[in-house]
Structure 1
């Protein structure tokens, strides 16, 4: 029986100056990138993704979306049709471009607006930040977050999550997690994504999505806040804005891929965090990231072998 393919769209954290290079090996994707970089509304932002500003929210979100969609443009005509697509954080917006529900250039513009609205929620003198926690003892996470003024942002495993809260207490949270027997990593992010601290961005982003030109997705997507499949614009407009200020259930999204019978998963990059998480949670799914290959032909050949 033929395998079932899932496409994974990454969030922030692994962006780098060469993240567009492999997509440019394909003439179609190269033309897309040239057009985006020449666009007055997009070019300066995307060029920022190649430099030291690539970790700032306003640059990172659209640059990652552009890199993801460029890679999809390089591959989509020559690989099997996906059964599902799932995106992590800003990657959920990319997923709508992958599924054809929104035009890629519109997705990048929406990413610019999403980042702007999220940044506007950061009050001067009250910075925000995020910390990744893992290996936490059972029952310890909720109390630890409450004591440090943090919220669950992305649930990634049974004993792991990303938390968002006040920037000045990131070190305190990390130290407390380590003292409790877990692991902690302070992330290079300046907003507390997927927490109530960004509630002010939800309604205006919902209005922008409602005004967008939506098409029927070519295949279903997974909603980050519910881990349920999305088949139409109505559910997209209802749930995609909410994930700005509500926790992402990535653990449940990974389980939903398994339940859907997915046998192969390809992460579009940059980075390989999603494919590694999914492989760890379900070793029966063959998982790779495009960042692990040297060429587009290598990606295609691997997919053909896995999906036979």
Structure 2
């Protein structure tokens, strides 16, 4: 059997119209109703809205979590099972649900609170850099207070995070093919999120985690783990520490993974992995048709 990892994208992968094809699927209808009871609003209504509410962190994160969980459960319903799971930032919550660490509704409650806190952050900035010298970037970050590497996505693409002045300073010092400020409310995955992380702890602390049924590669520690308390501790650190996606990608072939299925809208993660590990077979499942068309 081909050893397969399932990976789940985070904020930035959302697209207007995602999930519309799931509306009449019984399993999806159950999850969507539970989500509406928890959130107080309809995931599908927001995902189809022309007002672009979906771009607001408050809505983006719950919508992605719900739709990715539905797609994953539909895969399982068809007899598919992953050998390993990982998620990028918000996607780590879907990975933990997929590994049976907590129930769907439990995960959504955590994501709802996370989205509320992150949407309220307003004292920071993030920027994506592409085509740069890594040593030059690391040296510049070490010399600049209040700027950190937030997303280490692949050898040629990263996101930095920090105060606006610090991020802009790094952008002017480091030569890059492209440097693009991101439309986000705060300095995610940086020490500037410490207050939000402390508030989030009150929601996370009472939640009981179960041992994972398959290994999970976490953002802050890209080594496989199934330990309940260890996975919870890694999630505690996630809001203030970097997403080490490049290292997660490099781990996949080392762990015997031959195929990666990105479960969620778009192809952000398979695009990143392709540039890091060229030997892997990469597939995308973001629609009902793609779920039904997947061949073992």
Q: Does TM, normalized by the shorter one, top 0.5?
A: yes
Q: Kindly indicate whether residue 132 of structure 2 is the aligned counterpart of residue 136 of structure 1.
A: yes
Q: Which runs of 5+ in 2 are unaligned?
A: none
Contact residue 23 and residue 74 of structure 1 kept, 8 A: no
Q: Which of 183, 187, 194 is equivalent to 2:182?
A: 187
Corresponding position: 1:207 with 2:205: no
SS at the partner of 1:182? strand
Q: How many residues align?
A: 292
1:156 aligns with 2:153: yes
Q: Distance in 2 between matches of 1:277 and 1:97?
A: 23
Matching residue of 2:226: 231
Partners of 2:189 and 2:240 within 8 A in 1: yes
8 A contact 1:206–1:237 mirrored in 2: no
Q: Is the 8 A contact 1:26 1:74 kept in 2?
A: no
Structure 1 range deviating more: 217-226 or 289-298: 289-298
Offset at 1:270? 1.7
TM-score by length of 1: 0.86
Q: CA deviation at 1:89?
A: 0.7
Which region of structure 1 is more displaced relative to structure 2, 204-213 or 71-80? 204-213
CA distance in 1, matches of 2:41, 2:165: 31
RMSD after superposition: 2.4
Aligned pairs for 1:220-299 (under 5 A) are 220-291=215-286, 294-298=289-293
The residue number in structure 1 matching 2:12 is: 13
* Secondary structure in 1 matching 2:160: strand
For 2:21 and 2:279, the matched residues in 1 are separated by: 28
For residues 45 and 34 of structure 1, do their structure 2 counterparts lie closer, same or farther at Cα, with a shift above 3 Å needed?
closer
Q: 1:98-177 to 2 correspondence within 5 Å?
A: 98-122=98-122, 127-145=123-141, 146-147=143-144, 149-167=146-164, 173-174=170-171, 176-177=173-174
Distance 1:32 1:181, change over 3 A: closer
TM-score (norm 2): 0.89
Which runs of no fewer than 5 residues in structure 1 stay unpaired?
none
- Tell me if structure 2 keeps the 8 A contact 1:55–1:188: no
Matches within 5 A, 1:3-42: 3-24=2-23, 26-37=25-36, 39=37, 41-42=38-39
- Report deviation, 1:169: 6.6
Question: CA separation in 1, counterparts of 2:54 and 2:168?
Answer: 23
SS of residue paired to 2:20: coil
Q: Distance in 1 between matches of 2:127 and 2:29?
A: 36
Query: 1:77: which partner in 2?
Result: 77
Shift of 1:143: 4.1
Change (3 A) 1:18 1:148: farther
Note the alpha carbon deviations across 1:272-294, whole angstroms, 9 max, x for none: 11011112211211112213884
